[in-house]
Each structure stands twice: as C-alpha cells, then as structure tokens.
Amino acid sequence: RQPLSLCVAGERLCSTEEATAGSGTYVRHGFIFSSLAGCLERKNEDNELPVVSVVRDSESQLLPNVGAVVTCKVCSINSRFAKVHILYVGSTPLKSTFRGTIRREDIRATEKDKVEVYKSFRPSDIVLAKVISLGDAQSNYLLSTAENELGVVVARSEAGVQMVPISWCEMQCPRTHTKEFRKVARVQPQFLQT
C-alpha cells in the first residue's frame, strides 16, 4: 500500500483496463476519475487488476471557520439557544462533529426580541447556519441563521414524515397536515402558499 501521489477531485487517474475503481473514485467513459482530493493509492490483489482508490489525508481535518456555511443537526433547545452538532462545512462532511450554539438573538435578522427558540428549531432538525465566531470551550462555535438562505432545511413532523416548508416560519406535515413553527431556510417558490 504505497501512496503514489496527490490528486484533485475530477482528475483522470487511469483507464479501467489498467485498474479497478476503489473508494474515492468513479468510472466514466472507460477511465477512472478521482471523486475527491487526497492521496492516490494502488493496491495489488493476487494477480487481478490493482485497485485504485483515493484517500483523504487524515491529518488535514477541515475546521469550520468564521463566515463558513455549515450544516448541523439540532441536539437540544432551551429558551436562550439551540445546541447543535456541525456535520458539514459547505458540502464537505466532517470526520468528527463539532459542537455549536445558535443563540436566540442570532436566529433572525429582524424582531430579535420576539424570537422564540422552540418556534424556530426542534431537536433532530437539519439546519444551515453561518459560523459567526469560534466561541469558547463550552460552546465551541457560535452560529447564526439570520439570513434568508439559512435556517431549517429538513424537519420531521411528530408523525415521523419529512415536512414541507409553506412559509418562512412554518412547515407542514404532508400526512397529517399539521403545521409547526420553524425558522425556515429560504423557501423554494413551488412550496409557497397561494
């Protein structure tokens, strides 16, 4: 297992006649391409074609930085903030989750004093948020959902069904038609109430 070289996502590695596609690769038009940036590895199995895979360098842990948009899952809420686990930075999954906090005053850009955390998020909601500061040892990252594009993107109703956004502050269960309050990320036009 000798690392050969570094490669970038989308890079053509070799033809499918020379090797078999392993993890971190895909095949198109008879060639194997890298699906991520990392180290190219070629492993020879007993007299079969070598397996080509691309592995991420485990030392290069991606860290959420200020201004980054992150995808996180709500763990718990109280009247002052929501505690979340950060799962992705942009579209890159994190190897280990980071803890974050969305404070009540960072949920919306307007009428901050009227915001209620339980009407914005519920545990297990998937939320898009922006990193606003690196926080302290207890909360790690401070996050904001004050922009229209940020907020809840996936939520399940009490019936366990994925809800549909119907306005910037409500989602509806397609099965029971129950409405629940959320701080919804910018709603796609096809879901708007008419």
- The rounded distance, in Å, linking the Cα atoms of 77 and 88 is 20
Which one is predicted more confidently, 20 or 61? 20
Long-range contacts of 183-190 (CB under 8 A, 24+ apart): 183/107, 183/108, 183/119, 183/120, 183/121, 183/145, 183/151, 183/152, 184/151, 184/152, 185/127, 185/128, 185/145, 185/148, 185/149, 185/150, 185/151, 185/152, 185/153, 186/148, 186/149, 186/151
pLDDT tens-digit map of 21-47: 988 899 999 999 988 878 888 888 777
- From residue 21, how far is each of 25, 32, 54, 58, 183 by CA, in Å? 6, 6, 10, 21, 43
Say if strands 151-154 and 38-43 run parallel, antiparallel, or are unpaired: unpaired
Helix (H, G, I), strand (E, B) or coil at 155: coil
10 Å CB burial of residue 31 (0-12, 13-18, 19+) is: middle
Q: Which domains does the chain have, with CATH numbers?
A: 6-55 (2.40.50.100), 68-151 (2.40.50.140)
pLDDT tens-digit map of 41-95: 888 877 788 999 888 765 455 678 889 899 999 999 999 999 999 998 888 888 7
Mean pLDDT over 116-135 rounds to: 93
Report the chain's terminal Cα–Cα distance, integer Å: 60
pTM strictly above 0.85: no
Model confidence at 1, pLDDT cuts 50, 70, 90, reads very low
pLDDT at 31: 96
Average pLDDT, the chain: 86
Mean pLDDT over 163-182 rounds to: 94
Which one is predicted more confidently, 82 or 139? 82
